[in-house]
Amino acid sequence: MDTKGELHFIGFVEKAGEQEARIHISPEFCPGLNGIENYSHIIILYWCHLRDNEEERHILHVTPRRHKGAPQVGVFACRSPSRPNPIALCVTKLLKVENCTLHVKKLDALEGSPIIDIKPYNPRADSIPDARTPKWASNGPPT
């Protein structure tokens, strides 16, 4: 498969942190935030820029470090930042919107991480009550 796409980062993580983080959205994309304040939670898709190198992009098996007792699995069976395309996602609580800055809680991205996209969290579509996961995935952080 030799199909290539083009990605436009829409902003970056200005301040990281568990309690409060700030995501700055570039002015040309700021109008896309209209109405986002009506959601309590949003999904942030971001680029793991510190893992964007040839070595990390060729890793296909990992042992999830943040999950005690996890076995070695393929990168598509976990949320490792080392993967062919270092894309990560995080569901965050939206605290407030100020101009082109989102104030969120529980963002697991690092400062400087480029933002790929933002989507509203919709419990009707995004929560699957009877979803199945391996036992090791319940040991560790929620992301």
Which stretches does DSSP call E strand in the chain? 11-15, 21-25, 41-47, 61-62, 73-74, 87-98, 101-105, 114-120
Chosen CATH of 11-122 out of 1.10.3720.10, 2.60.200.20, 2.40.30.70, 2.60.120.10: 2.40.30.70
> pLDDT digit string (tens) for 50-98?
999 999 999 999 998 888 888 999 999 998 999 999 999 999 999 999 9
Give the global pTM: 0.90
The pLDDT assigned to 3 comes to 82
> Would you place residue 49 in the very low, low, confident or very high pLDDT band (cuts 50, 70, 90)?
very high
Does residue 133 or residue 11 have the better pLDDT?
11
Please compute the mean of the pLDDT values over residues 41-54 and round it to a whole number. Answer: 96
Q: Please, what's the b/e burial string for 79-105 (b: 16 or more CB within 10 A of its CB; e: otherwise)?
A: bbbbbeebebbbbbebeebeebbbbbe
